[in-house]
A and B are shown apart, each in its own frame.
Chain A
């Protein structure tokens, strides 16, 4: 199997606070993980590529100081939304690559609501 989990599944926070989202590959090691953002009824937008042991690579237009990514181990990547604002409210989804295969395995997503 290839299972990816995310925690939390849903979070509501106040404007100005920081929120950490975890992405774990449960039954395989993932040297590469990806973070996506999805607005309601819209497609997924790639935010960044998270590589174990090195700095994340951010897509154009994504603020690296706003969205901090840490890939501390082969099974865990975290996304921290710093000083969150209502416009950061979105569905955040991670994915992981298993063993050099082309298929990405997606987590169930985290719904962030910033009040």
Chain B
């Protein structure tokens, strides 16, 4: 089932700008993961953040998690044209590795 809601649905920014997208979910989770999907391709894992963590960084990516608000955000700093893709959050609710995906945010980075 789909539990995450992502906001915004679409985002268009200029190269060099930051992109922020949010994910909200309904039930308690063990971890939340962010994935990227280029058009018509598979998913690439970006970051996993556990329920007891509040913030994580990986290169130009920064993820926050607020379990009290059941929400997470993904920040891409200094965006590049190659960052153009759809970004999905996914939650693992019961530690059985099953993921529930959000609807995704489509990011377009203009050169």
Contact = CB atoms under 8 A, between A and B. Distances in A.
A44 B101 contact: yes
Interface string A1-38: 00010100000000000000000000000001010000
A115 interface: no
A104 B103 contact: no
Interface in A48-73: 49, 59-60
Please report whether the interface of chain B is mostly helix, strand, loop or mixed according to DSSP. strand
Interface residues of B, number: 24
A102 interface: yes
Given A102-B31, A102-B48, A105-B45, A49 B103 contact: no
A42 B104 CA distance: 8
A93 B48 contact: no
A42 B103 contact: yes
Contacts of A103: 33, 45, 48
Contacts of A107: 42
B97 A104 contact: yes
Contact of B104 (A34, A43, A111): A43
A46 B103 contact: no
Given A34-B98, A43-B2, A104-B45, A109 B92 contact: no
Interface in A76-115: 91, 93, 95, 97, 102-109, 111
Contact of A102 (B1, B92, B102): B92
Interface in B71-110: 88, 90, 92, 97-104, 106
A34 B97 CA distance: 9
Given A43-B101, A44-B90, 7 more contacts: A6-B42, A44-B43, A93-B43, A103-B45, A104-B33, A106-B42, A109-B42
Interface of B: 1-2, 31, 33, 35, 40-45, 48, 88, 90, 92, 97-104, 106
Interface of A: 4, 6, 32, 34, 41-46, 49, 59-60, 91, 93, 95, 97, 102-109, 111
